Amino acid sequence: MEAEEQNMDTGKKVNIGVVGLGYWGPNLVRNFIDVENCRVVMVCDANEARLKPVKKRYPNIELTTKYEDMAASNDVDAIAIATPVISHYPLAKQALENGKHVLIEKPICSNSTEAEDLIKTAKKYQKILMVDHTFLYTGGVRKIKELIDKGEIGQLFYLDSVRINLGLFRPDVNVIWDLASHDISIIHYLFDEPPVSVSAMGRDFNNNNITCLAYITLKYKSGMIAHIHTSWLSPVKIRRIILGGSKKMVIYDDVEPTEKIKIYDSGIEFRQENETSLQPTYRLGDINLPKLDQREALALEANHFIDCILNGKKPLTDGAMGLAVLKILEAADISTREGGREIALNISRQQ
């Protein structure tokens, strides 16, 4: 994927509709409005009150409370879906069957059977199906990927992520699906291999059966390990990933306003003194703060979606990738219900 690429000016324009104007949808509207070769022609929300701010700000955009109007409209080429997860599948299926390209919020669907069906449907109708795993378009994650690909981190040993804050409780998904889905997509992008198993300990603490705190471990064939601590029950907001490799270590702190990435030339090597003594040598070298692309991730992503439509490209965050993330979420849920049992995963490289 070349998220950096602006879509080429082919003279063609994509008319897009956005459904769901709650917390996230307005960000999609704002970013698609700025994409060249794209026009936001319609927005939809079942709650009429949510349409009013759009009407005030963008009077030329058509408004509807009925999704059927958008899905059936000949003026709409593509639909971005930002509604609760439970509704992703029926809305996306209807859009694809009506010949629309689809950008769907993360996580792609409520279960992998639905996701597999969407992938099949998109293929049948030859439409782009892309999932909004926003973090893969951030300057921070793209910089880490670049460092890994250039061999600067060396052999990857582990990734440790903490993504915690107070709330926002969601009635339809638990904290693993809401917050850890970001980490799982990031890990899936950075690591060259899919995980072979997942185990997760989770608790609800509110007797509502919605996990609000979880510790998730992913294992890899190569010996790599990834751990995610995610919570809606933390007094402070932390968004920190530590990546450890044989050459360098990286800290990605997304709460930092500017210096989000720090690259540490740190490590430990062991020297065998004699049969019983193993001497560690600590390497404490420079710390580098690379310059990051400051552009809004959603702006790059919106451009990438339109580029994929106009130029027949495969999205970085395509349906297969959304399905891989979903399979891990499903297995993590099973593991939390079974007291942290290790669940084997069957995820292919294409996913």
Ligand X SMILES: NC(=O)c1ccc[n+]([C@@H]2O[C@H](COP(=O)([O-])OP(=O)(O)OC[C@H]3O[C@@H](n4cnc5c(N)ncnc54)[C@H](O)[C@@H]3O)[C@@H](O)[C@H]2O)c1
Residues interacting with ligand X, by CB under 6 A?
Answer: 19-25, 44-47, 50, 67, 82-85, 87, 105-106, 132, 134
- Given the complex with ligand X, which of 148 and 325 has the nearer CB atom? 325
Looking up tokens 């199906």, which residue turns up? 129
- Given the complex with ligand X, which of 162 and 196 has the nearer CB atom? 162
Quote the radius of gyration of the chain (alpha carbons, Å): 21
Shortest Å, Cβ 197 to ligand X: 25
- Given the complex with ligand X, which of 224 and 241 has the nearer CB atom? 241
End-to-end distance of the chain based on CA atoms, in angstroms?
15
Shortest Å, Cβ 30 to ligand X: 13
Residue 233 pairs in a beta bridge with: 166
- Given the complex with ligand X, which of 156 and 175 has the nearer CB atom? 175
Quickly count: other Cβ atoms within 10 Å of residue 120's Cβ: 13
- Are the CB atoms for 17 and 78 separated by under 8 Å? yes
Show the tokens assigned to 222.
Answer: 């190569």
- Given the complex with ligand X, which of 131 and 243 has the nearer CB atom? 131
Hey, what long-range contacts does 119-123 have (CB within 8 A, 24 or more apart)? Answer: 119/319, 119/320, 119/323, 121/93, 121/96, 121/97, 122/96, 122/319
Q: Minimal CB distance to ligand X: which residue?
A: 22
Shortest Å, Cβ 138 to ligand X: 10
- Given the complex with ligand X, which of 133 and 248 has the nearer CB atom? 133
- Measure the CA–CA gap between 239 and 258, rounded to whole angstroms: 14
- Given the complex with ligand X, which of 197 and 234 has the nearer CB atom? 234
- Given the complex with ligand X, which of 43 and 190 has the nearer CB atom? 43
- Given the complex with ligand X, which of 186 and 306 has the nearer CB atom? 186
- Measure the CA–CA gap between 100 and 138, rounded to whole angstroms: 27
- Measure the CA–CA gap between 277 and 291, rounded to whole angstroms: 42
Shortest Å, Cβ 181 to ligand X: 8
Shortest Å, Cβ 46 to ligand X: 4
* Cα dist from 335 to 162, 186, 228, 343, whole Å: 19, 21, 14, 6
Shortest Å, Cβ 332 to ligand X: 16
Show the tokens assigned to 246.
Answer: 């044989």
3-state secondary structure of 287: strand
Shortest Å, Cβ 299 to ligand X: 13
Shortest Å, Cβ 289 to ligand X: 25
- What is the dihedral sign for C-alpha 317, 92, 80, 256? negative
* Cα dist from 324 to 110, 179, 201, 298, 329, whole Å: 13, 16, 20, 21, 9
Reported as half-sphere exposure (CB side, CA atoms, 13 A), residue 167 has a value of 3
3-state secondary structure of 8: coil
Shortest Å, Cβ 167 to ligand X: 12
